[in-house]
Amino acid sequence: MRLDYPIDIGWFDLATAAALLLIVLALSAWQRLDLGRQVVVGAIRATVQLVLIGHVLLWIFAVDSPLLVLAMLVVMSAVAAITATHRQNVSSRERRTLAPILGLAIICGAVFTLIYVSVAVVHVTPWYSARYLIPLFGMIVANAMNGAAIAAERLQSEMDARRGEIEAFLALGSTPARACAEATRKALAAAMIPAVNALAIVGIVSLPGMMTGQILAGASPALAVRYQLVVVFMLTAATAITAAITVLLYRRSFFTPAAQLLPRAKNY
- Provide the pLDDT for residue 10: 85
Task: Check residue 268 and give its pLDDT.
Answer: 42
CB 143 within 8 A of CB 232: no
Q: Output the pLDDT for position 225.
A: 82
| Domain map (residue ranges) of the chain | 1-63, 65-254
pLDDT of residue 91: 80
Radius of gyration of the chain (CA): 22
- Per DSSP, the three-state class of 219 is coil
- Burial (CB count within 10 angstroms: exposed 0-12, middle 13-18, buried 19+), residue 108: middle
Query: Global pTM?
Result: 0.83
> What local confidence, expressed as pLDDT, does residue 4 receive?
55
**pLDDT 10s per residue in the chain (268 long)?**
454 556 678 888 889 999 999 999 999 999 888 999 999 999 999 999 989 988 998 999 888 899 999 999 999 999 999 999 998 988 888 888 899 999 999 999 999 999 999 999 999 988 899 988 999 999 999 999 999 999 999 999 999 999 999 999 999 999 999 999 999 999 999 999 998 888 887 766 666 666 767 776 667 778 888 888 888 899 999 999 999 999 999 999 999 998 899 886 554 4
